[in-house]
Amino acid sequence: SQQGEEDPQALSIQEGENATMNCSYKTSINNLQWYRQNSGRGLVHLILIRSNEREKHSGRLRVTLDTSKKSSSLLITASRAADTASYFCATCNSGGGSNYKLTFGKGTLLTVNP
């Protein structure tokens, strides 16, 4: 079953607006990651936030993590048409031994209209 569940499933905004995507999960995690995927392409790692961190920034990206609510949010500020893509959260937990497993949510399809 999916660990992460993003909402909304689809989001359409105008260029320059902010986009917020949320992710909820069910079990304990080591860290949570956000990825971007352009249609038909591989995944691009955006940001990793550890379970003991609450907020992290990278350029126009801001990620929050609330382990008590088992939720995370990704904020993209001043969006651009080039930000149009699917965004996935992925929770990382131990897969046994030294292996860690990433479990992906269903993703949010973000469309930024010029």
Instruction: Tell me the CB-side half-sphere exposure of residue 19, using CA atoms within 13 A.
Output: 29
Smallest distance, Å, CB 98 to another protein? 8
- Whether 75 and 62 have beta carbons less than 8 Å apart is answered as yes
Contact 57, 46 (CB under 8 A): no
Contact with another protein (CB under 8 A) among 14, 18, 30, 58: 30
Closest separation in Å from C-beta 53 to another protein: 12
> Does 45 sit near another protein (CB under 8 A)?
yes
Q: How many residues bind another protein (CB under 8 A)?
A: 28
* SS3 state at 1: coil
Pick the piece of the chain touching another protein (CB under 8 A) from 19-27, 28-36, 54-62, 74-82: 28-36
What residues line the site for another protein (CB under 8 A)? 2, 30-31, 33, 35, 40-45, 48, 50, 88, 90, 92, 94-95, 99-107, 109
